[in-house]
Amino acid sequence: MIPIVTIVGKSDSGKTTLIEKIVPELIRRGYRVTTVKHDLHGFEIDRQGKDSWRHKQAGAQGVIISSPQKIALIRDVDKDMSLEELRDAFGGNADLILAEGFKKDIQPKIEVFRKEEHQELLCTEEDNLVAIASNRPFDIGVPCLDIDDVKGIVDLIESKFLKGDRREEISLRINGKRIPLSPFVERFLIRTIKGMISSLKGGENPQKLEIKID
């Protein structure tokens, strides 16, 4: 499953600037990265008068724009999709999904904090905060790296999500619909299921499990 890390922070904290630095360093290390930007206010990429806009105005539910260099998809949705849903639908063959925003999502977060702009952090460990990138120190139980230490930030992402100590994940679907799980419930289910399976003959040291109930 493709790991997800989301860069969060208050306005003017420098989220986009940090992502602009992280992505090239990840690519230099050989990783394929997909980025996701969250915009609560909506956006437009099919400008009025363009062919894609005309297709959409004609009533098409989805419009795909294709060229030899890239493709784009414009599709109606009936809700704000979670990062897990976006990963399942559009993750492709990326090694990592790096998101900006999604502060209410359950995915792991790195918060960007600048002392000149804000007084308090946006997140705590309970929000699945895994690190802070800041120009002032914090001691709240998660690593705090200098906001300009791109190599150190990417080292943390690589070690925690892309290499051997990447955390275990579990997904749940009910009647085909993916159900979001909090980190606590994820850990509880993984420990419980692995413990039960490992007691079965042939189930010793399970690494990947698939359970389906019809």
pLDDT > 60? residue 210 = yes
The per-residue pLDDT for range 2-34, each reduced to its tens digit, is: 899 999 998 888 899 999 999 999 999 899 999
Dist CA 122 CA 74 (whole Å): 32
Whether the CB-CB separation of 3 and 96 falls below 8 Å is answered with yes
Contacts of 179 (CB under 8 A, 6+ apart): 172, 173
At residue 67, the pLDDT reads: 77
Rounded Cα–Cα distance for residues 3 and 123 (Å): 20
State the pLDDT at residue 61: 76
Instruction: Give the CA angle between residues 132, 133, 139 to the nearest 5°.
Output: 45
pLDDT for res 42: 58
Query: CA-CA distances (angstroms) from residue 180 to 47, 105, 144, 177?
Result: 34, 9, 28, 10
> If phi over 0 gives left and psi between -120 and 50 gives alpha, with beta otherwise, what is residue 175?
left
104: its two tokens? 């209410």
Lowest-confidence segment of 7-21, 41-55, 66-80 by average pLDDT: 41-55
Which SS3 state, helix, strand or coil, does residue 113 take? strand
- The mean pLDDT of 29-41, rounded to a whole number, is 83
Question: For a pLDDT cut of 70, what percent of the chain falls above it?
Answer: 93
- What's the pLDDT tens digit per position in 163-193? 854 556 777 888 878 787 776 787 788 888 8
Given pLDDT bands bounded at 50, 70 and 90, which one contains residue 151?
A: very high
Residue 66: the pLDDT is 75
Give the single-character DSSP code of 156.
Answer: H
Pairing of strands 96-100, 4-8: parallel
Q: Please answer whether residues 18 and 99 qualify as being in contact, where contact means their C-beta atoms are separated by less than 8 angstroms.
A: no
* Res 194 pLDDT > 90: no
pLDDT of residue 43: 60
pLDDT digit string, tens, across residues 111-120: 999 988 888 8
The domains located in the chain, with CATH, are 4-40+81-162 (3.40.50.300), 43-79 (no CATH), 168-214 (no CATH)
